[in-house]
Structure 1
């Protein structure tokens, strides 16, 4: 583990995030999980699939 990460963890332990920040991150994770579950159940819609693949990276 990098020394910088240990310092960051120490700072986080001394000053934990507020309840609002924790709720915000959990809401984002819940939204991502909901989108993933919708994709598993109904799949990717045809109208979002491009007609032909774009150019690749140069």
Structure 2
């Protein structure tokens, strides 16, 4: 572990963040975990993919 991480952890222990900041961080983490679970169990919709799995479009002469 990086020594700077230890210094940051000691700063957080001595001066904890406000409850509003904790709620904000936890809600962002919950949203990320929720998206991960939906993607794993249900799957990602094809309409939201960047490259469709149908293949390239060919132009015939």
Q: Same fold (TM over 0.5)?
A: yes
Structure 2 equivalent of residue 43 of structure 1: 43
Larger Rg belongs to? 2
TM-score for both structures, normalised by structure 2: 0.65
- The 1-side partners of 2:38 and 2:17 are apart by 31
Between the two proteins, the alignment pairs up a number of residues equal to 53
Unpaired stretches in structure 1, ≥5 consecutive residues: 53-58
Q: Deviations over 1:17-46 (max 9, x none)?
A: 111111111101111111112112321111
Unpaired stretches in structure 2, ≥5 consecutive residues: 56-61
Greater fraction helix: 1
Q: Which has the higher contact order (CA 8 A, sep 6+)?
A: 2
Runs (4+) of structure 1 exceeding 6 A deviation are none
